[in-house]
Amino acid sequence: MNAVRGILAVAGFQLRRMLSPQRLVVAVAGAAFPAAVMLAARRIAGGLDRDFGVVLLYALVPEALCLLGLLVTMCPVVADELERGTWQHVVVRPGGRRSLLVGTFLAAVGWTAGVALLSLALTLFAAGLDDSPRLAGMFAVLVLLSCLGRAALFALPAVIVPKRALVASVGAAIVVEYLAGFLPAVVNQVTVSLRLRSLLVEWMGWRRNLPESLRLFVDDQPPVVQVAAVLVLTAVLLTAASLILAFRQFPPAEEA
């Protein structure tokens, strides 16, 4: 129970920090941006093809917006604590490091998912696509899975190279999620991007008409396997980050 209370305390603290007026303005602007892009595309094309609209929506919200949101909410956590001089107080408490990591993970996922869901609603309205309620439910699942998997991925750079966490996380996103994720090999099986693409293709019913050259970039397993794979990957990455954090030695703030 103490561990749970510690995690929830950190999560609440981080969420309260994110509710500053400046961050709220940035969040609203970020949520509105995909809708503006969708509206512009709709006007330029004189109406959106449904499949193109769905692909654009996928690229804008579960991919771009979730990724950017997590980069600014998950990555800097350890560096922030070091710079503010609070790290010494955290590490002497039982489970303090774990609480800091998991609590910030929960806050980053909750905040980013909330902004992304708001953006999803605005973008669907701007797109004017048929069957919007079903698309909203489908993309809500993709948003949540994207936030869980990518936040856990960014937890590793946050604890390995805290002073360069943002740069390292951008590199991890490019190399792991997008370069490795599009390699038709075993390595792409451990990426969130493969699972999200596979779910999108399956739920949209595109698999039958998918060109042979593109079948290499999606997985044939049923949706329950794709969801389970993201959850397992999230657990593995968070466990690895927790273990690294538990055994790392950090200098006091004035020596960092």
What per-residue confidence (pLDDT) applies to 92? 45
What per-residue confidence (pLDDT) applies to 185? 61
What per-residue confidence (pLDDT) applies to 17? 84
What would the two tokens of residue 243 be? 């273990």
- Burial of 90 from C-beta contacts in 10 A (0-12 / 13-18 / 19+): middle
Picking from 12, 159, 166, the residue whose alpha carbon sits closest to that of residue 75 is: 166
Let me know if residue 255 belongs to a domain. no
Let me know if residue 35 belongs to a domain. yes
Let me know if residue 102 belongs to a domain. yes
Residue whose tokens read 């949540």: 144
What residues make up the domain containing 164?
A: 2-249
Residue type, 174: I
Let me know if residue 88 belongs to a domain. yes
Per-residue pLDDT of the chain (256 residues; tens, 9 = 90+): 677 887 888 888 888 888 889 889 999 999 999 999 999 988 887 777 888 899 999 999 999 999 999 988 887 765 666 555 554 445 445 567 788 888 889 999 999 999 999 999 999 999 888 788 899 999 999 999 999 999 999 988 888 887 787 888 888 888 878 777 666 666 677 889 989 999 999 999 888 887 776 777 788 899 999 999 999 999 999 999 988 887 766 655 444 4
What per-residue confidence (pLDDT) applies to 238? 93
CA 18 to chain centre: 16
Number of H helices, E strands in the chain: 11, 0
CA 188 to chain centre: 17
Let me know if residue 117 belongs to a domain. yes
Cα separations (Å) of 213 from 118, 184, 197, 210, 217? 35, 10, 15, 8, 8
Let me know if residue 140 belongs to a domain. yes
What per-residue confidence (pLDDT) applies to 255? 45
Count structural domains, the chain: 1
Long-range contact list for 131-135, CB < 8 A, 24+ apart? 135/54, 135/57
What would the two tokens of residue 75 be? 């990555």
Residues contacting 248, CB < 8 A, separation 6+ = 159
Let me know if residue 256 belongs to a domain. no
What would the two tokens of residue 93 be? 């408490």
What per-residue confidence (pLDDT) applies to 229? 94
Q: Identify whether the C-beta of residue 50 lies closer than 8 Å to the C-beta of residue 77.
A: no
* Predicted TM-score (pTM) of this structure: 0.88
Looking at residue 69, the DSSP 8-state letter turns out to be: H
Residue type, 35: A
Picking from 188, 150, 194, the residue whose alpha carbon sits closest to that of residue 172 is: 150
Let me know if residue 254 belongs to a domain. no
